[in-house]
Copies of this chain bind each other. A is one copy, B any other.
């Protein structure tokens, strides 16, 4: 495998991996509608808030979300809504393809 190719696929895989969790997909879809603070996301997801925070860290590191502070709250937002078009494509994969 050529080195530059290897690097490019590693970079792509890192982003895809960040999306590869049900909770994180839920968060991404929720953020598509509007900026949301962590506690609101915790209510939506239902996990411990520290767990939600870790998922947000994963998404932040991948460059998929960013945060904006407003008083005590951190408002998270999607940086690149286009990534969710993909999830829809993937949605009903089985059965549809050859």
Contact = CB atoms under 8 A, between A and B. Distances in A.
Interface of A: 1, 5-6, 8-13, 15-17, 19-26, 29, 44-46, 62-64, 66, 79-80, 82-83, 85-87, 89-91, 93-94, 96-98
B22 A98 contact: no
A82 B87 contact: no
Nearest to A26: B9
A25 B13 CA distance: 7
Contacts of A87: 12, 16
Nearest to A87: B12
Contacts of A13: 19-22, 24-25
Contacts of A94: 63
